Amino acid sequence: MGYLEPTSTQGSRTIPVFQKVLEMARGGFSLDTTGLTVGDTIPAGTPMVFDEATRKAKKATLTGTAPNETSDAKGLLYTDVKIEANAPVDVVLRGTVYARRVTPTINAAHKKALPLIIFSESR
């Protein structure tokens, strides 16, 4: 893994999103595009949920209302992914992410659902 990988494209530059990755979900997944717009990009660090049996992954969702929201997140998206049929997806289960570099900002309920991810506030 190179120093600047994985990165997220924001505007005209790419920036590292993860400080350290200790564990990823094995085998990778295909993106479930249900409810997503083909051609858009899901940025690295987005909370994700996956199904080991179907090998499909999708964006995590929140249920309930603040401050009692709950998340179904199981990890964070490793790199930017362009939304298309069966796009490959890798999910980080344990590691450190630069929280300020993830856009949009990760909701507190998602953070609570991911106890093995450290959300670093360093730049």
Q: Which residue has the higher pLDDT, 53 or 9?
A: 53
pLDDT at residue 9, rounded to an integer: 60
Residue 121 has which token pair?
């506030």
pLDDT at residue 13, rounded to an integer: 60
Q: What is the pLDDT of residues 89-119, one digit of tens each?
A: 999 999 999 999 988 889 999 999 999 999 9
What would the mean pLDDT of 27-49 be, rounded to a whole number? 94
Q: How far is CA 35 from CA 42, 68, 110, 119, in A?
A: 13, 25, 20, 28
Provide Rg for the chain, Cα atoms.
Answer: 14
DSSP 67-98: TS-EE---EEESS-EE--TT-EE-EEEEEEEE
For residues 96 and 33, what is the distance between their CA atoms, to the nearest angstrom?
Answer: 27
pLDDT confidence band for 3 (50 / 70 / 90): very low
